[in-house]
Amino acid sequence: MPYTVEKSWLEELQKRVEFQETSRLKMVEVRENFLDNEKELRSLDSALKKTTSFMKKIKLLSAATVPQLIEELSKLNLSKFVEEIASGIIETKLKISDIPKVTELCLAVSAMYSNFSEQMAGEFKKILPVKKTDKITNVAKLRVDIIFLAELCLCGVFNEKEGLQVLGAVLTYLIQTDKIDFVNYGLLATVSRCVGWQIANIIPIPLGDDNETVKIEETDLPTSSALSGDQKKSIRELFKVYYDVLYAKTEKICSARNKAMKKVKRQERSRGDAADEEKAKFNELQAELDTLRKMTNELSCAIGITMKPLKEEASDDEEDEAANLEMGRQLAEGAIKLWSDEETKAFYADLIDLRLMVPKDLYKESEQRTLSKAKMAERIEDIDVENINESGAVDAKRTMSRANSEKESTPEESEAAVPTKEDISEDRGVNKWQKFVLDLDHLVSKYSTDKAAEYFVSNLNNKGCRKRLVKLMVEPPPTRIDVVPFYARLIATLENVMPDLTTEIVTQLLDKFRGFLQQKPSSSSAIAIKVEAKMVCVMMIAELMKFGVISRPEGLSCLRQLVYDLRGHSVEMTATFMESGGLYLYRHTESHAKMKRLLEVVKAKRERMKDQRQAMLIDNAYFTCLPPEDSKEERLRLKFDEEDTPMKKFIRHVVLDINDTNVDNHLKCLRRLDWSDPEISDYTIRYLSSTWLLPIENLQHLASAIAGLCNLQHLQWIGMAVIDSTIQTIRISLENPGNFNQWAHSAAVYLAELYSFELCDEDLIIQILYQLISYPEPENSWKDLHRIRMICAVLEIVREFIQKGPGRLKLRYFMAYFHRYYFTKKEAWDLETQDKQPNSDGGDNNETVPDMETSFPYEVEIAYSEMCRKFRGKKKNIPNRWPKNLKEAQDAVAKVEKKFKGDLKEVAGEHSDIDDGGMKDLNVIEEDDEDEDDDNKYSEGEQEFEDSDEERQRGLSMSNAVTKEEDDDFQRELDRMMGEGFRQSAAPAAAVQYDVTLPAAAKNRFSRNIKFAEDTKARSSPSRSSEMDFDDEPSSSTGVAASGRQKQGRVTLMVRGKANKPALKTVNIDDGELQRRWKEEKAREEEERADMKRLTLGQHRRIEMEEEKALLAQLHGSRKNNAKKNPPRLQFPKPHLEGEW
C-alpha cells in the first residue's frame, strides 16, 4: 500500500539512515581493531593548558564548533577527561539541528576512548526520568535529549543494550505516567517524526496541506538494522497505547460537550435563552474539546494513524425535539389525543383520594414510608435507542448487576408466600379476605375497583393482608388478563396510604421481568414458565406506567430490552407491552421521539421474522401504537403532496372521518363538491376508493354515502368509477400475493357493501368470488389463507341478498368450488405441518394435543364453519351434507361440471352421447319442486330451482368446462353458416333448428318452472336422497303403491309437432307425491309474495316518514332564518341496512 509522506522528511530520512548505518559499521570495526591504542595516545599532546581549553569549548558546544573540536581531539590525549567530556556534552543545551554534528563528535570520542559510551549512558540515566518519582523540569531539553539518545543508539556509539535500555525506560515513563493530562503528547510526536521510522517503523502522515508530498511504498524506505523487529514493535505499541488513551478521553469530552449543547439548545427552544451556568459549562467543554482534538490529530499524524472522526454534530436530538414539539402542538390543538376517549382518560387520570374517604386511624401506620423507592430510570435522555444491537450485551450486564444489587433488599419468597391454612384460620379477618379476593375476580369497572380499594383500607389494612396482596398483584392469574388494568388502578389508588405496598410490588415486578430476560430460551426454567405468565407481568408493568406508578423512562427501558432480543417469548412480551402501553409512550411528548425510533427497529426486525404468527402479532402491535393516520408512509405522502390545498384537506376529512353519526352531513358535503372539476372529482374518487384508510366498520357508511350520490342522475357515474377502482385493487393484490392483503380484504368487504346498496349486480360479485379461488397462486403458498378469509367476509354480507334473489343458484354452484378450494388448502396445510406436530413421532397417546403453531388456523376454520351453518337453512330434521373432506368436495364439483358439459352441448346443437348411456331421445320434462328452504334441498340432493330459460342460460354461461374439441366444432360450424349466408340470395333463410323450446304463450299458463331431466334412469335410483346432487331432476321415483293401484296426476308435456313446432300435450302421471309438492310450491310462492309485499310497504312508509321529517325540519329552520333568503332543499334519504332489510 503506498504511503503519502512529506518530501523533505523522505530526503532527510534517506540521508540520516545512510549516515547512521555507515557510522555504526565503522564503530563496530573500530571496537574490534583500533580501540584504546595506548602507544598512539601517549604520542598525543596532554598539556594542561590545551586540555583545559578543550573542556571549556565542550561546555559551549554547538554545531559550528564541532569541526574544530574534532580536529583538536585528534591531537590531544584526553583519556583522563572522558567523564568530563560526557558530562559536558549532556549538560549543554542543544538544539535539534545541532544533534547530527554533536553525534559526529561523540563518534570521534567513542572511537578513541572505549569507556566513553559507558560514561554517556550513565550521564543519560542521571538526567532522564525513568522512575515514577522523577519529575520533568525542562520539557524542551528532554525532547532534545531523547532524540540525541536515539541518534547515538542508531549510530553505534552505545553497545547493543546500553542505550536501548535507557531509551525504552524513558519512553515507558513518559507514556505510563501521562494518561490524564497528556502533557507529553508534543514531545512524543516530535520524537516519532524525527526517529520514529528508525526505532519503530512509523511512517508519519503529513500534518498540513502546504508541504510538498510524495507517494512511496514501505519497501522503498531505507531500513535501519540497529534495532530488531521485536524491539521496534514494542516501541510502536507504546505509542499506540498512548494514542488510544488520548482518543478515548477526546471522545468522552465530545460526548459531554454534545450533552451540554443539547441542554443549551433545549432551553433556548423552550425558554428563549439558556442559563448562564449551562452556557459556561458548554463553553468550557467546547474549549477542552478543541484542545484535545488538536492534540489527538497531531499525535495521530506523527505516529502514522488516521484519526477516526468524532461523533460531533450540532445537536443529535434536534429532530427528536422537533418531533416532541410537534406532538405537543397536536395534543394542545386537539388533533391527537393522549387517551382514546374520555372514559379511558378518566380511568387512568382520575384517581380517588382514600385519605378523604377513610378515617386516618385506619391508615396511620401504613402511611409512613419505610422502604426506599424502587430503582428506576429517571430520564428519557438516558435511554439509548441508537445502537440497540451493539449495546445489548451491556444492557444484559447492567440488568444482571442491577438485579443482584436489589436482590438483598427484595423480600424473600418465604416472607411473601401465602400463609398456610392454619394461619388463615387463626386470622380474624379470614372471611373478609376471602370476600375481597372474590371481589377482585369480578372487577369490571372503575367504580368496583375504587370500592375494592376502600374496602381493603377499611377492613384489611394489616401486615399479613398487605403481604398477601403483594403476592396476588405480582402473580395475577395468567388466564385473567382482562383484570390486569383494574389491578393496576387498585395499586395506584392504594399508593397514597400504602407507599411501601406499591414499592414492594414494583420492585418484585421489575425483578421478575429481569429474571425472564436473563433466562435462555433453551433452558429448562424458561420452558417451564408459560408465556401467559410473562405476558401478564409485562402488561402489569405497562399498566402501572400509564398510572404513573412506574416511570415512563423505566417502561421505555423495559421495552428496549425486549426489542433487543426479539425472538421466542420476547415476541409475545413485546407485542403485549406495545398493545398495552405503546400508544401512550408514542403520544406522550416526553417519550415520543424515543418510542418512534423503537418502532422503526421493531418494524425492521419484523421483516426478518419467518414465523407468520409472530409476524402477525408484531404487525398488530405496531399498528396499535402507530395507526395508519399516524404512520410514516401516510405522513410522507401527505407532506410531499405538491398541491395539498384546503379543498383536498376538506375532501380527506369528509371521506376518512365518516361514521354512523355524521353520514348525512358528509353526504351533503359530497353532493356540494364541484364534480365538474376534473381535479376535484379525481381526487375524491381516489379517496372514495382507498378503503384501507378507513376502519372496516365504517365502510358500510361510505357505501351508503355513495348510494346517496348515485341517486342524483348527474352523479350516477361515481358508483361505477368506485367499483372499477375497487376491483382493480383486488386484482393487484392477486397479482402481487402477500403485499396488499389488507388492502384487498377491505376492498372486497367494500364491494360487498356496495352490492348491498344495489350499486352493482350479483353477477359481478359471483365473478369476483370465482376470481379469488381460481387466480393462480405461487408455489408453496399453503400458508396463505387470506383468500378464504376474504370470501367468508364477502359471503357474510351478500348471502342474505343473493339467497332471496334469482342468483342463489349461481351461489350454490360457487359454493361447490369454494368447498374444494378450502379443503385443498387445509389438506396442503396438514401435509406440510405433519412432521412438526407434537404427536407425529408415532407415540401411543390416544389424545392429540393441538399445537398452536402447526394446527390449522382456528379463526379460519371457525369462519368457514359459521358460513356453512348460515347456508344450511332452517329445517332441523335434515342433516347437514356439506362436504367433509377433499374427496367429497371434488365429487360435488365433478357433478356440476358433468351437468353443464351436457347442457352446453345441448345448447350448441350437438346431440352426441355424453355418458355411456347417452341421451338420444327427447328428454322427459319434469317439474322443479321448490321449497322455502332451498339450502336444505341442496344439501340433500333434491330438486333445484330455475326461474326461467334466461336464468338457466346465465347459469350455463358461468361454466368454462368446454373442451377444445367442442370449441373447434362450434367454430367450424359457425364459419360454415356464415359462408352460406353470404352466398345465398336475399331470400329469407331457413331458421336453424334447435332443440324444442317452451312456447311464449304457455309461459303465462304455468306458474311453476319446467325443465329437462338429463338422465331418466337416475329417477329410479333409491339412493339419490343420501348424496349431494346438483342435477335438475326430482329425487323421488315413480313407484307403484303397495296396493298395486297408482294415483293419477295430470302433467303437460312439450313435444315436437308438425314442422318441428313445439306442441303441448296433457298426460296422466301416476305419482301422488307430485300433486303434494305442487301444492307446497304454490303455498310457498304465496307466502313469499306476501313477505315481499310487507317489506315493500314498510320500506315505502319509512321513506315517506323520513321525507316528511326532513321537510318539517327544513320548514322550521326556514321560518327561523327568513325563508325567502334560504329556500328549503330536498333531503335525499340515506340508503342503509336498517329495519326489515
- Considering the domain boundaries, does residue 783 fall inside one? yes
**pLDDT score of 914:** 40
Helix axes 717-735, 699-710, angle to 10 degrees: 140
Same domain as 1124, residue 1020: no
Q: How many CB atoms lie within 10 A of CB 1049?
A: 17
**pLDDT score of 1121:** 54
Q: How far apart are CA 948 and CA 134, in angstroms?
A: 117
Same domain as 346, residue 294: no
pLDDT tens for each residue of 167-207: 888 888 888 888 888 888 888 899 888 888 888 888 888 87
Same domain as 659, residue 519: no
pLDDT tens for each residue of 4-55: 888 888 888 888 888 888 888 888 887 777 655 666 666 677 777 887 888 8
Q: What's the mean pLDDT in 913-922?
A: 41
**pLDDT score of 941:** 39
**pLDDT score of 857:** 81
- Considering the domain boundaries, does residue 252 fall inside one? yes
Same domain as 249, residue 213: no
Band of pLDDT at residue 319, cut at 50, 70 and 90: low
Q: How far apart are CA 303 and CA 193, in angstroms?
A: 7
Domains of the chain: total: 6
Q: How far is CA 807 from CA 147, 762, 766, 954, in A?
A: 103, 7, 9, 9
Band of pLDDT at residue 1031, cut at 50, 70 and 90: very low
The DSSP symbol for 210 reads: S
Task: Name residues whose C-beta falls within 8 Å of residue 1125's C-beta, 6 or more positions apart in sequence.
Answer: none
Whether the predicted pLDDT of 161 surpasses 50: yes
Taking all residues of the chain, what is their mean pLDDT, rounded to a whole number? 76
Same domain as 176, residue 300: no
- Considering the domain boundaries, does residue 720 fall inside one? yes
Rounded (5°) CA angle 186-187-192: 95
Whether the predicted pLDDT of 751 surpasses 90: yes
Q: How far apart are CA 799 and CA 935, in angstroms?
A: 12
Q: Which amino acid is at 353?
A: D
Same domain as 84, residue 201: yes
pLDDT tens for each residue of 78-109: 778 888 888 888 888 888 888 888 888 888 88
C-alpha cell at 801: 341478498
CB 166 within 8 A of CB 124: yes
Phi, psi of 96 (to 5 degrees): -65, -30
Looking at 746, 769, 804, which one is the last position of a domain? Answer: 804
Band of pLDDT at residue 702, cut at 50, 70 and 90: very high
Same domain as 1011, residue 1106: no
- Print the domain residue range for 54: 3-229
Same domain as 903, residue 790: no
**pLDDT score of 980:** 62
- Considering the domain boundaries, does residue 539 fall inside one? yes
Whether the predicted pLDDT of 638 surpasses 70: no
Q: How far apart are CA 431 and CA 425, in angstroms?
A: 9
Band of pLDDT at residue 635, cut at 50, 70 and 90: low
Rounded (5°) CA angle 184-189-193: 155
Same domain as 537, residue 418: yes
Rounded (5°) CA angle 126-129-130: 100
Q: How far apart are CA 462 and CA 467, in angstroms?
A: 9
Band of pLDDT at residue 1077, cut at 50, 70 and 90: confident
- Considering the domain boundaries, does residue 107 fall inside one? yes
pLDDT tens for each residue of 469-489: 999 998 888 888 888 999 999
Whether the predicted pLDDT of 1124 surpasses 50: no
Whether the predicted pLDDT of 397 surpasses 50: no
Which of 10-14, 631-635, 656-660, 755-759 bottoms out in mean pLDDT, i.e. has the lowest? 631-635
- CATH number assigned to the domain comprising residue 763: 1.25.40.180
**pLDDT score of 628:** 65
Task: Name residues whose C-beta falls within 8 Å of residue 6's C-beta, 6 or more positions apart in sequence.
Answer: 204, 206, 211, 212, 213, 214
Whether the predicted pLDDT of 1079 surpasses 90: no
Looking at 198, 229, 260, which one is the last position of a domain? Answer: 229
DSSP characters for 443-489? --SHHHHHHHHHHHHHH--SHHHHHHHHHHHHS--TT-GGGHHHHHH
> Over the range 646-684, which residues count as b (16 or more CB within 10 Å of their CB) and which as e?
ebbeebbebbbebeeeebeebbebbbebebeeeebbebb
Same domain as 1052, residue 953: yes
Q: How far apart are CA 870 and CA 863, in angstroms?
A: 11
Same domain as 1008, residue 892: yes
Whether the predicted pLDDT of 518 surpasses 50: yes
**pLDDT score of 275:** 82
CB 388 within 8 A of CB 564: yes
Whether the predicted pLDDT of 860 surpasses 80: yes
User: Which pairing describes strands 213-216 and 1049-1056: parallel, antiparallel, or unpaired?
Assistant: unpaired
C-alpha cell at 894: 365433478
Looking at 508, 530, 549, which one is the last position of a domain? Answer: 549
- Considering the domain boundaries, does residue 863 fall inside one? no
Q: How far apart are CA 307 and CA 326, in angstroms?
A: 38
> Over the range 9-27, which residues count as b (16 or more CB within 10 Å of their CB) and which as e?
bbeebeebbebbbebbeeb
Alpha-helical regions (H) of 881-962: 886-907, 934-940, 949-957
Same domain as 1015, residue 1109: no
- Considering the domain boundaries, does residue 586 fall inside one? no
Q: Which residue has the higher pLDDT, 561 or 977?
A: 561
User: CA nearest 454: which of 347, 355, 350, 349?
Assistant: 355
- Considering the domain boundaries, does residue 322 fall inside one? no
> pTM for the full model?
0.40
Q: How far is CA 641 from CA 407, 635, 637, 683, 703, in A?
A: 56, 10, 6, 12, 27
**pLDDT score of 987:** 44
Whether the predicted pLDDT of 705 surpasses 80: yes
pLDDT tens for each residue of 1039-1055: 444 444 455 666 677 77
Region for 816 from its dihedrals, namely left if φ exceeds 0, alpha if ψ lies in -120 to 50, beta otherwise: alpha
